[in-house]
Amino acid sequence: MTAFTDLHAGCAALGARLFTVTRLDEDQAQFARVYTSHPAEYPVSGTKPMQKDGWYDTTIAGRQTFVANTPPEFAQYFFDHELIVSLGLGSCITVPVMDGDRVLGTVNILAEAEHFSAERLAGYAALVAGAAPALAAELR
């Protein structure tokens, strides 16, 4: 869990307002939340079915960071988009956590609309990359 809390602190320092980590269970086709900054709204016990959509194509199949800087960009992929907006959040990134070529889970970072500029994306990418070995160990 230290890997999650340390990464959360680093991301919060860059302006992240909601931070979660999920573990992917491909056999069950679902994600399970294993860390959260908002336990009331997004409890650790939460699961989410894996949908094969544009978000999946980018993050899981493509193994790339998904970026949405406005609610319309993520609303079509996130069933909880109204809750996200109600929390004052309007942008997100989802970063896959890899073990070799296998996606173990995702780091999910949300902030106000238009938060994820190229400069900020580089900062978050550096933080997640630095934490990748510890994140993978926690998610295995």
The DSSP-derived string for 50-113 is ---SHHHIIIIIS-S-EEE-SHHHHHTT-TTHHHHHHTT--EEEEEEEEETTEEEEEEEEEEST
Which DSSP helix (H) or strand (E) runs through 38? none
Give the Å distances, CA to CA, from 79 to 3, 51, 58, 136.
Answer: 28, 11, 18, 27
CATH code for the domain of 50: 3.30.450.40
Count of domains forming the chain: 1
pLDDT at 41: 96
User: 60 phi and psi, to 5 degrees?
Assistant: -90, -60
Percent of the chain predicted with pLDDT > 90: 94
Residue 15 sits in which domain range? 2-139
pLDDT at 1: 67
**Average of per-residue pLDDT values in the chain:** 96
d(CA 66, CA 44): 22
Per-residue pLDDT tens over the stretch 41-57: 999 987 889 999 999 99
Per-residue pLDDT tens over the stretch 65-96: 999 999 999 999 999 999 999 999 999 999 99
